[in-house]
Amino acid sequence: MSVYKEYSLLMYIFCNNTHHDDGQFDRNEVVLYVFCRVLGSPTLYLSHDLTSVQHNSTFFIFFSTLLSFVPSAYCIFLSLSLSAKMSQVVATRSFHSSLTRPTSGSAHHRLLTSLKPPTFASKVCPQQRNAPSKVRYPSCRVNARKSAPAEVVPVSPEDDSKIEEELQQLRGMQLLGDTAVGMWSKPTFRRKTKIVCTIGPSTNTREMIWKLAEAGMNVARMNMSHGDHASHQKVIDLVKEYNAQSKDNAIAIMLDTKGPEVRSGDLPQPIVLTPGQEFTFTIRRGVGTADCVSVNYDDFVNDVEVGDMLLVDGGMMSLVVKSKTGDSVKCEVVDGGELKSRRHLNVRGKSATLPSITEKDWDDIKFGVDNKVDFYAVSFVKDAQVVHELKNYLKSCDADIHVIVKIESADSIPNLHSIITASDGAMVARGDLGAELPIEEVPLLQEEIISICRSMGKAVIVATNMLESMIVHPTPTRAEVSDIAIAVREGSDAIMLSGETAHGKFPLKAVKVMHTVALRTEATITDGRLPPNIGNVFKNHMSEMFAYHATMMSNTLGTSTVVFTRSGFMAILLSHYRPSGTIFAFTDQKRTQQRLALYQGVCPIYMEFSKDAEETFTRALDLLQKLGMVKAGEEVALVQSGKQPIWRFQSTHNIQVRTV
């Protein structure tokens, strides 16, 4: 069914309109192209110089756009003598006139393929020309050129002197202004992909939380499989204390539920398993001998069958089931190793028949509500029902906590779309995923989950083993570095450190390596890549259109984006379009600032809003300049859109290009 929208569009452009003989397009033409292309509405074109209107390429775009989409549209050319420094586009939606909104993919395609010169189309939305209908294989365009020297920090974590040099240089910025410069003076300020750090015995002190934040941590994760409420409370309090002190940086808090995981019991000391050896798992409590250990799940004996392959510790060891009794499962060791306390047990190809949210999880979830955490990472989600159940519970508590589903169970795979649709984002939990499913499926599923999340406008985190060797070694393997680069190129919002920061020997170095590799990789991605069907999710929402066009403008003009948000909605929406410049998200809500820390490309900044829009804009741009985030004379795309209007009518959305 075609979508009919009723609105009228008034487009006006005030700008220093320059004429280009070289066939290149200027800012006005970009703006015109962008808006005519999709809105297809009566258009008023104001220009101080009609020759620019007569320019062949402009005519081409103008008429091909209007005629191909909107036969009834009309355009008016006016010649004005304007040289204002600001170009402004205002689209006003009302319900007085009726026009068809051209949103069909084929129309888009027609327009894009008819556009000349091609450089323009490739500048504005190159990803659509090549977009496959289903992303199965890496589709990103990577330019092998070197990144700007200022953005390259040393790759080797050993090279602390160079890192320190960079930190010193950035710290110098603190002298620039009188506001706290926490985030912006750290080497995190241009990295778009966010870093999640699991906090554990290596990092649960005040000193380490501060150092992790300075090194680039954006989200602190607490794994409820370990520790108790008292130890997690201490971490939450420390992160909140850091956030309160650091006016311009915020660390989000993520509570990761234990879920229905099956683990072996406590052992007085590690047991060495050798291939061919007989070994027994029992549901009897408190057993921990050289050839038998307890399992924490009473139905374990019923769930496994003779011939099943058991994976211990994410596949570090494996055993085949040989026989069963009423309370025990006898196995033969296939791949041996050292069995320590409380290790994960997975049955290849099977998920445990436990509910996704256990009693312990509900207790932990309540703990999260009381402590106003930002995200739940829900383990072993198998279907969307459990997400609805949790969301309903959170609504009943009036708790504003976002739900990230962990994709790690074999049963979740057939339900990926419905699970992700119900959630606020997903985590590719590769540890258990690679144990429940054949390991070679993991990279393919990672790519697919990222692609689904991107097309649905949901956050996505890639987790587990990213720098595993750095738990004990100060340098990463080359394969680990490549793994980070792949997750960044695939477009994940965040990448996660687990044991590396929880109990590793080099937690800070691990964060620095992750930061450096992500930053270096991002510098090779030349333009924002839109997932092919992202528009389908929000197609009825005007904000989506403005996020899309703001992204195209920002990519074409090479600007960063400035947005003002209370709920975070518009900043998150913009993030999903992955503009190539930074999204500076100003908010007057601390919770929103904290939550936005997870989203790719978003620099969340807390600032009181004034009643006057213009005054707030000026203060925001001044602050960015003071912090060294933008320079005088630089242009930024300032977006006013979203669900909750601030300083505008519900029906009026804006993109302005402003010169700082």
Ligand X SMILES: Nc1ncnc2c1ncn2[C@@H]1O[C@H](COP(=O)(O)OP(=O)(O)OP(=O)(O)O)[C@@H](O)[C@H]1O
Q: Which residues are catalytic?
A: 221, 263, 406, 464
Six-digit token pair at 475?
């340098």
The rounded distance, in Å, linking the Cα atoms of 16 and 86 is 8
Position 223 contacts ligand X (CB under 6 A): yes
Q: Given the complex with ligand X, which of 200 and 642 has the nearer CB atom? A: 200
Binding residue for ligand CC(=O)C(=O)O, selected from 192, 402, 430, 576, defined by CB under 6 A: 430
Q: Given the complex with ligand CC(=O)C(=O)O, which of 115 and 442 has the nearer CB atom? A: 442
8 Å CB contact between 222 and 236: yes
Give CA 557 to chain center in angstroms: 23
Residue with structure tokens 């330019």? 143
Among ligand X, ligand CC(=O)C(=O)O, none, the one that 87 touches (CB under a kind-dependent 5 to 8 A) is: none
8 Å CB contact between 18 and 26: yes
The rounded distance, in Å, linking the Cα atoms of 16 and 28 is 9
The rounded distance, in Å, linking the Cα atoms of 410 and 432 is 9
Binding residue for ligand CC(=O)C(=O)O, selected from 246, 257, 282, 464, defined by CB under 6 A: 464
Could you tell me the maximum CA-CA distance found in the chain, to the nearest angstrom?
91
Least distance CB 513 / ligand CC(=O)C(=O)O (angstroms): 19
Write a three-state SS string for 637-648: EEEECCCCCCCC
DSSP secondary structure code for residue 148 in this structure? P
Q: Given the complex with ligand X, which of 221 and 595 has the nearer CB atom? A: 221
Q: Residue 47's CB: how many other CB atoms inside 10 A?
A: 22
Among ligand X, ligand CC(=O)C(=O)O, none, the one that 406 touches (CB under a kind-dependent 5 to 8 A) is: ligand CC(=O)C(=O)O
Position 431 contacts ligand X (CB under 6 A): yes
Q: Is 216 left (phi over 0), alpha (psi -120 to 50) or beta?
A: left
Task: Name the one range near ligand CC(=O)C(=O)O by CB under 6 A: 19-27, 272-280, 428-436, 466-474.
Answer: 428-436
Write a three-state SS string for 527-553: CCCCCCCCHHHHCCCHHHHHHHHHHHH
Which residues inside 450-479 make contact with ligand X, applying CB under 6 A?
none
Least distance CB 260 / ligand X (angstroms): 12
Binding residue for ligand X, selected from 117, 172, 201, 414, defined by CB under 6 A: 201
The rounded distance, in Å, linking the Cα atoms of 249 and 234 is 20
Give CA 548 to chain center in angstroms: 17
Binding residue for ligand X, selected from 40, 265, 499, 528, defined by CB under 6 A: 499
Least distance CB 252 / ligand X (angstroms): 16
Binding residue for ligand CC(=O)C(=O)O, selected from 213, 429, 550, 639, defined by CB under 6 A: 429
The rounded distance, in Å, linking the Cα atoms of 643 and 36 is 23
Among ligand CC(=O)C(=O)O, ligand X, none, the one that 568 touches (CB under a kind-dependent 5 to 8 A) is: none
Q: Which residue is nearest to ligand CC(=O)C(=O)O (CB)?
A: 431
Q: Given the complex with ligand X, which of 252 and 557 has the nearer CB atom? A: 252
Count of positions on this chain that bind ligand X (CB under 6 A): 14
Six-digit token pair at 448?
């697919």
Among ligand CC(=O)C(=O)O, ligand X, none, the one that 462 touches (CB under a kind-dependent 5 to 8 A) is: none
Six-digit token pair at 107?
């129309």
User: Beta strand pairing status for 252-256 and 87-92?
Assistant: unpaired
Residues in touch with ligand CC(=O)C(=O)O (CB under 6 A): 406, 408, 429-432, 463-464
